[in-house]
Amino acid sequence: MSFSISSASSVAGLTPSRTSATRPIDGLPADKLMSALTASDREIVYQATGRRVDESSNIVSMFAVEIALDRQSGYLSAGQEISPAYLQLMATKYAGDEYSQSFGVAIGNALSYLAEQAPRTGIDVTA
């Protein structure tokens, strides 16, 4: 199961469209994928994209979809916060020009947000 891209270049409609996926996501309906996000994930998505997401969101950014898929697959385990290292790996994975609208700005915004939070939370954003 995967998602179709809407006419806006940086959002995806939560409807199955392709048969191939990079991670197994069986057992979680497309309309419930956002339930895999933690409260912290949702705040990072908001800070990165300017859009709030929840279980009832029908259109979400590809950035949010990627994080939700990583949560659902276990790549981001329960209790593991999104880190600058995770975002850097995502930036490397989606470094091509074709991904700049969907991921480039969002990843930069997310990294800036984590850097702003670091003095208050003790997060090391240089890792």
Mean pLDDT of the chain: 77
pLDDT digits (tens, 9 = 90+) for 42-98: 999 999 999 999 888 888 899 999 999 999 999 999 889 999 999 999 999 999 888
Where residue 53 falls (left for φ over 0; alpha for ψ -120 to 50; beta otherwise) is: beta
| Residue 51: both structure tokens together | 């859009």
- What's residue 14's pLDDT? 42
Q: Point out the least confidently predicted range of 4-8, 17-21, 89-93, 109-113.
A: 17-21
44-80 in b/e form (b: 16+ CB < 10 A) is bbebbbebebeeebeebbbbbbbbbbbbbbeebeeee
> What band does 102 get if pLDDT is binned at 50, 70 and 90?
confident
